[in-house]
Copies of this chain bind each other. A is one copy, B any other.
């Protein structure tokens, strides 16, 4: 249950010097307890009963948490952002897996992105975005 992580979430938010509002704590708690990256919609649904937030507030909360580097944002192909808490394992750049069956997105911590990527001359690399698509264990 994601309520257990409320104190942890609140601590993390205060450490950033931000206001510990119910919204931010709720959002971060959901993401800290989630096994996969979640869409805005999924987070909204998840909070619906305990803490109904306005969609805009949720967008702004997520934006703020990303800016504080407490969570990260995943693009994953469909035109929907997904969000996931930054554990120790996920603080560096990493790849993601997207299941084409159930649409879940998980972080692939093992997949190193620090290798050399050959680019045309004059081109400068900033960031690599890698999404492996396929079927998860449940959908296989």
Q: Is A121 an interface residue (CB 8 A)?
A: yes
Residues 82-100 of A contacting B (Cβ, < 8 Å): 95, 97, 100
* Cross-chain contact B111 with A134 (CB below 8 angstroms): no
Residues of the B chain whose Cβ atoms lie less than 8 Å from the Cβ of A120:
97, 106, 137
Smallest CB-CB separation from A118: which chain B residue? B110
Instruction: Knowing A77-B75, A79-B79, A97-B119, say if A135 contacts B124 (CB, 8 Å).
Output: yes
Distance between A49 CB and nearest chain B CB, rounded to angstroms: 29
Copies in the complex: 2
* Cross-chain contact A126 with B130 (CB below 8 angstroms): no
Residue of B97, B121, B126 touching A137 (CB-CB under 8 A): B121
Q: Is A129 an interface residue (CB 8 A)?
A: yes
Q: Please classify how large the interface on chain A is, using the bins under 10, 10 to 19, 20 to 34, 35 or more.
A: 20 to 34
Smallest CB-CB separation from A127: which chain B residue? B133
Residues of the B chain whose Cβ atoms lie less than 8 Å from the Cβ of A77:
75, 129
Residue of B117, B119, B135 touching A123 (CB-CB under 8 A): B135
Beyond the given A117-B132, A125-B132, A125-B133, please list 12 additional residue pairs across the A-B interface where CB-CB is below 8 A.
A79-B79, A97-B119, A97-B123, A108-B117, A119-B134, A123-B136, A123-B140, A126-B134, A126-B135, A127-B134, A128-B131, A129-B131
